[in-house]
Amino acid sequence: MRRLLIWLPLGMFLVFLVVFAGGLIKPEGRVIPSKLVGKPMPAFALAPALPGKPGLSSAELANGQPHLVNVFASWCVPCIAEAPQLRQLAEAGVPVYGIAIRDRPEDLQRFIERNGDPFRAIGGDPNSSVQIALGSAGVPETFIVDGKGIIRKQHIGAINPEDVPGIMSALGDAK
């Protein structure tokens, strides 16, 4: 019994270590989804973020066709990672619109030149007012908006290749 008591502190330390490591490897979700899912897009009209590219307004998103609205920025590293998936969605016929957060046109132009341009229009949101109205906490975030302008789905974070089928399915459901 005495030998067992000698090893007890080590055993308790190992249990603590396993629980602590488990929390680091698989942290509890801290994502706060937008409360606007199922509600209309907030009213907005954003000026073009790039010369020669149209801006974006909420009225354009209620034209009877589902849309994908991507909140992004040129300074956002995960936005670079999701660029191929946005191009893939655009090539599949998905109308992809962008809201550029706190960006400068010259930085945005370089981002588009390096990563492609899947966007039909990009509205500039220099003070994040539309981002805040959407309940978006960061970039990138993507919203699927149905043809009536109702937000049907929110995707928080970069769109990864394994996310594309689910997004296509949600777009099909949004018709």
- The CATH number that applies at residue 147 is 3.40.30.10
Could you tell me the residue range of the domain that residue 155 belongs to?
Answer: 32-174
Statement: residue 29 has pLDDT above 60: no
pLDDT of residue 25: 62
Query: 143: closest CA among 130, 156, 132, 133?
Result: 156
pLDDT of residue 174: 87
- Tell me what the mean pLDDT of segment 76-88 comes to: 96
- Tell me what the mean pLDDT of segment 123-129 comes to: 96
Statement: residue 129 has pLDDT above 90: yes
Confidence category of residue 66, pLDDT binned at 50, 70, 90: very high
Q: Is residue 99 part of a domain?
A: yes
Per DSSP bridges, beta strands 96-101 and 56-57 are: unpaired
Q: What percentage of the chain has pLDDT greater than the value 70?
A: 93
Q: Is residue 136 part of a domain?
A: yes
Give the CB-side neighbour count of residue 78, counting CA atoms within 13 A. Answer: 13
Per DSSP bridges, beta strands 45-46 and 151-156 are: unpaired
Q: Is residue 144 part of a domain?
A: yes
pLDDT of residue 5: 78
Residue pair 78/86 in contact (Cβ under 8 Å)? The answer is: no
Statement: residue 28 has pLDDT above 60: no
Q: Is residue 52 part of a domain?
A: yes
**Average pLDDT of every residue of the chain:** 90
Statement: residue 15 has pLDDT above 90: no
pLDDT of residue 30: 57
Q: Is residue 80 part of a domain?
A: yes
Q: Is residue 76 part of a domain?
A: yes
List strand residue ranges (DSSP E) for 51-160, in order. 56-57, 67-72, 96-101, 119-125, 141-145, 151-156
Statement: residue 34 has pLDDT above 90: no
Q: Is residue 20 part of a domain?
A: no
Q: What percentage of the chain has pLDDT greater than the value 90?
A: 74
Number of structural domains found in the chain: 1
3-state SS, residue 103: coil
Q: Which pairs from 61-65 meet CB under 8 Å and 24+ separation?
A: 61/97, 61/145, 61/149, 62/147, 62/148, 62/149, 63/147, 64/147, 64/148, 65/95, 65/147
- Tell me what the mean pLDDT of segment 108-127 comes to: 97
Q: Is residue 9 part of a domain?
A: no
Helix locations, the chain, DSSP H: 2-25, 77-91, 105-115, 129-133, 164-173
What confidence tens digit (pLDDT) does each residue in 39-51 have? 999 999 999 999 9
